[in-house]
Structure 1
Amino acid sequence: MKRPVTIISIVLILLIAGFIYYRYFFVFGEGVKAGELNYIVKKGYIFKTNEGRLIQTGIRSGANQGSISSNEFMFSITDQRIANQLETSGGKLVQLHYKEYIGTLPWRGVSNFVVDSVLSVADNTTALPGSGVIR
């Protein structure tokens, strides 16, 4: 009688641990976004996190009237060093590498997209390396 309860308990614990890992720690996707850095702000009630917004260039709504196409990329930053670097880059063209998670954690930020590195920062009058965007 004691053995089935132990096996069921272990299986249940493993399933819960697997679900938590998949939901909050599994990197669902990663990539690079380029555009003009709109703002970086530190906010939160208990966990103060760095949040930012990037305005992507070249994205327009489709041919359908009334369709909505967002050219804003909302992201969170967990590394204070990266946040400090971006705070001085407001209004400049930046390329950011990010990781996408399925769920959010309060100490990681409010966005599913977490920036883990800054690839390049350029003035608006120059081109971003490798982006083909000249302003």
Structure 2
Amino acid sequence: MRKFLLYFILLAGIIFGGLYAFNYYVPYSEGWRAGKLIKFSRKGLVIKTWEGQLSTGVGQDHLWDFSVEDRDKLVIEKMVDYQGKGVKIRYIERFWKIPWLGDTKYFAKEIVLDKTAETIGN
């Protein structure tokens, strides 16, 4: 019985590890989104994650939520600097969200200032 339990736990660990690695290293999709960066903050009670919101049009239906991994320090710095401005964000979409990395399946990997976008107040 102990052997069976040990094998079961080992097999479950291998399956979980494989699924996690697949979800982390194999993106479901990649692309760019453009709009106005309206919110960027560090959220969470126990596990803090960086979360942002991009307005891609007019109204509540055109808000896009995304996350940024802690290790992407340059992206985080630029997000803080570019709040309220028109930006283009390169992102990856994972198959499912990983709670300790972010609240969404979308992870920003790069951000550039969109000089052609109109910004409010300028």
Smaller-chain TM-score bracket:
0.7 to 0.9
CA–CA distance in 1 between the matches of 2:103 and 2:76?
A: 15
Q: Write the mapping of 1:78-117 to structure 2, written as runs, cut at 5 A.
A: 78=69, 79-117=72-110
In terms of Rg, which structure is larger? 1
Task: Decide which structure has greater helix share.
Answer: 2
% identical equivalent positions: 25
Question: Structure 2 stretches of 5 or more lacking a match?
Answer: none
Q: 2:28 aligns to what SS in structure 1?
A: strand
Q: Does the Cα contact within 8 Å between 1:24 and 1:104 map onto a contact in 2? A: no
Q: 1:97 aligns to what SS in structure 2?
A: strand
Q: Does the Cα contact within 8 Å between 1:95 and 1:119 map onto a contact in 2? A: yes
2:28 alignment partner AA = F
2:44 corresponds to which residue? 44
Q: Does the Cα contact within 8 Å between 1:51 and 1:74 map onto a contact in 2? A: yes
**Given the two structures, how large is their TM-score scaled by the length of structure 1?**
0.66
Q: Does the Cα contact within 8 Å between 1:99 and 1:116 map onto a contact in 2? A: yes
Q: 2:61 aligns to what SS in structure 1?
A: coil
**Root-mean-square deviation (Å):** 2.8
2:92 alignment partner AA = K
Question: Structure 1 stretches of 5 or more lacking a match?
Answer: 61-68, 127-135
CA–CA distance in 2 between the matches of 1:43 and 1:99?
A: 20
**Given the two structures, how large is their TM-score scaled by the length of structure 2?**
0.72
1:72 alignment partner AA = L
The one-character-per-residue Cα deviations of 1:86-128 (angstroms, maximum 9, x if unpaired) are: 11212211000000011222331111000010133437538xx
Count of residues in Structure 1 that have an aligned counterpart in Structure 2: 110
> Given the superposition, is the C-alpha separation of residues 47 and 122 from structure 1 closer, same or farther in structure 2, using an over 3 Å criterion?
farther
